[in-house]
Amino acid sequence: MSIEVIGTYAVAICLLIGAAFALIGTIGLLKFNDSMTRLHAPTKVGTIGIGALLLASMIHAHVFADGSMHELLIMAFLFVTAPISANFIAKVNIHRRSCDAPPPPPKDDTWSTLNVPEADRELAEPEKV
């Protein structure tokens, strides 16, 4: 087997994986009802699908041509901006009250800290041997 044949198989596998993830992301975008659940399909699955397609492009460029590194910049931009845009879309939906807001945190000093409630202190202390 030559490097061209191996490269062709690698490109084909990456294209199939990328197309499958893009298809799953599209189906998820169409099937989910509200905007908060619909948000996960294009950001999570779509990022992996586009990443696999760009990886196929990189492999093809390195095996059959001089090579190209532009795809790395596209992947870096995509992997950085997709979570940020998803966060902003989720914040807009929460502020518009178009979805169920997350529950408020408890009113004690144990939420998001290392403090342990009085009732659980004996469970949290390590046993002394």
- Whether residue 120 is contained in a domain is answered as no
Asked if the structure places residue 50 within a domain, the reply is: yes
Q: For residue 41, is it within any domain?
A: yes
Within-domain flag for 110 = no
Containing domain of residue 66, as a range?
3-102
In a domain, 39, yes or no: yes
d(CA 104, CA 107): 9
Q: What size, in residues, is the chain?
A: 129
Residue 113 lies in a domain: no
Under the banding of pLDDT at 50, 70 and 90, the label for residue 27 is confident
**Which residues, at least 6 apart from 85, have a Cβ–Cβ distance to it below 8 Å?**
43
Predicted TM-score (pTM) of the model is 0.67
Query: Does residue 82 lie in a domain region?
Result: yes
Mention every residue, 6+ apart, whose C-beta is less than 8 A from residue 56. Answer: 10, 11, 14, 15, 18
Rounded distance, CA 64 to CA 75, Å? 21
Express each pLDDT in 46-94 by its tens digit. 788 888 999 999 999 989 888 778 888 888 888 888 888 888 888 887 7
Q: Kindly state the tokens that stand for 37.
A: 């659940």
Number of domains in the chain: 1
